[in-house]
Structure formats: structure tokens, C-alpha cells
Amino acid sequence: MTLEVLTSDLLGPVQHGFFTRKGGASSGVFSGLNCGHGSTDQTDIVNINRERAAQALGVDLPHMVTVQQIHSANVVTVDGPLGGAAPRADGMVTATPGLALAILTADCQPVLFSDAKAGVIGAAHAGWKGALYGVIEATIDAMEALGARREDIHAAIGPTISQKSYEVGQEFLERFIDEDPAYSRFFSSGKNGKVHFDLPAFGLFRLREARVGDAGWIRHCTYSDAERFYSYRRCFHLNQADYGRLLSAIRL
């Protein structure tokens, strides 16, 4: 089966892709293009899936760089393939041609960044913790350190969980309110005292507050489209043993 790769017009001529689960070698609950070594899927199969994604991006697998994601605001600057253990971070930037920066998600936001004029790209794993802690802003700062200008940076949020599917408790809401009472606008009332959080709207808010040139969400919900996307929350609700990870990447 052919890979399905979603793109954003915001990133223009810079090669990138938000890969769906279609076209992979995994089976069972991982059926499709599971690119997550953090899953219990077979390592060899995950490597096959990653190789297919790398080929679609036009790079060798070692040149498709990933990090050990920890829901932080840590960002690393990459200038070549990473040998040994992957750094613990949730953002990457590079100005080196021939490298692809890849993020893994299963409801969290994959955010791809490009300053096509300066030849600088970035990628961030921005779940609620990373977004709240500042991984988006830290990625922009790291791009500027390589010569990018934030007014020339375009950013696209890929498939992520939508507000209607993201029910959380009052303690979650309070954590955001403690940070800034104005963040209440990213929550709507749900049933039984629960609320619903709008993660992509919050990500877009942080991008626009950071004064990037343009930003958008490609408007695909991971939770509600099981045929195309993996979802941690859907896996939990269905009592499944594990879930796959989607890959999103951008390259120079």
C-alpha cells in the first residue's frame, strides 16, 4: 500500500510530511506505518516503516533524525546524523541540507517550522506539557540562533487530538489557570464536571504570540479517524494493549 503523506501549504517549497498510518508493515493494533520504537511492536518492522518514511523524504534512514521525547521544552541543534543514544528533547532545529527532523506523536501536536529564506527548519513535539512549558518558543529561539528570522518562520501543526475528543479533569484546567487565567478560553464544559481542552488552538496561540510569520493547523483529529491515525487516548478507551506512533518530518 502506498504511503499517505499530508502536507501544509504554509511550509511552501520545503519538503515535509505528516505521515498517516497507511502504507506500513505493522499488523494488529499497530496496523500500518508505526514508527515508534517506544511501542511493543517488533523492532525490525518499525525499522522497515521508518525506512519507508525516510525514502519518501528522499534521505537515508540515519539522516532522518529523531530524539528521545520527554514532554519538555528541551531543543537540540542538529548538524548530522546522531550516533549512539538519542538526546532527551522535544524539539530539533537544523540548517544542514540533507537532514530530516522527525517527530513521533499519537495525539500530541507535531509542529513543523521553516524559514525558507534563511534555510533553517525545526520540528517540535508539543503535547500539553511541552506546549505549556515552552517547547514552541524554544524551537523558534533555536532557529533564530541559526540565522532564521521569526517573522519569516512559517509553522504547521499536524494531526492532533481535537477539542471534542480531549476530555480532562478540573485539576488539568487549574494547572493552566494557575499559569495564566486567560487560558480558560481554551476549555469548554463537558459532562460530569469534566472539561474539554483545545490543544491545537493553544498551540496556534503560542505560535502567534511568538510572532511567527504564519501558522496553521491542518485540521485532522487523531482520535476520531482510526483508519488514518494512531491515538493514545483512543487506545486507552478501547482497552487496547498498546498503540502506534505517527511520524511527522521536515527536511532541507
pLDDT of residue 116: 96
User: Confidence class of residue 196 from pLDDT cuts 50, 70 and 90?
Assistant: very high
Average of per-residue pLDDT across 102-120: 98
| Structural contact between residues 36 and 245, judged by C-beta atoms closer than 8 angstroms | yes
Nearest residue to 205 via CA among 219, 216, 221, 220 = 216
Whether residue 84 has pLDDT greater than 90: no
User: Confidence class of residue 203 from pLDDT cuts 50, 70 and 90?
Assistant: very high
Integer CA distances (angstroms), 170 to 3, 133, 187, 196, 232, in order: 40, 19, 10, 10, 21
**In whole angstroms, what is the distance from residue 71 CA to residue 50 CA?**
22
User: Confidence class of residue 191 from pLDDT cuts 50, 70 and 90?
Assistant: confident
Residues with Cβ within 8 Å of residue 180, at least 6 apart in sequence: none
Sheet holding 154-157, edge to edge: 75-77, 91-94, 120-126, 109-115, 154-157, 214-217
Average of per-residue pLDDT across 53-60: 97
Whether residue 109 has pLDDT greater than 90: yes
Q: What is the pLDDT of residues 118-159, one digit of tens each?
A: 999 999 999 999 999 999 999 999 999 999 999 999 999 999
| CB environment 23-53: b (16+ within 10 A), e (fewer) | bbbbeebbebbbbbeebebeeeebeebbebb
Q: What is the pLDDT of residues 159-172, one digit of tens each?
A: 999 999 999 999 99
Amino acid at 180: D
User: Confidence class of residue 43 from pLDDT cuts 50, 70 and 90?
Assistant: very high
Tell me which residue has cell 478507551. 237
Average of per-residue pLDDT across 17-44: 96
Domain 5-162+198-251 has CATH 3.30.70.260: no
Whether residue 217 has pLDDT greater than 80: yes
Tell me which residue has cell 480531549. 166
pLDDT of residue 193: 85
Percent of residues, the chain, with pLDDT higher than 70: 100
Whether residue 1 has pLDDT greater than 80: no
Neighbours of 189 (CB within 10 A): 8
Predicted TM-score of the model (pTM):
0.96
Mean pLDDT estimate for the chain: 96
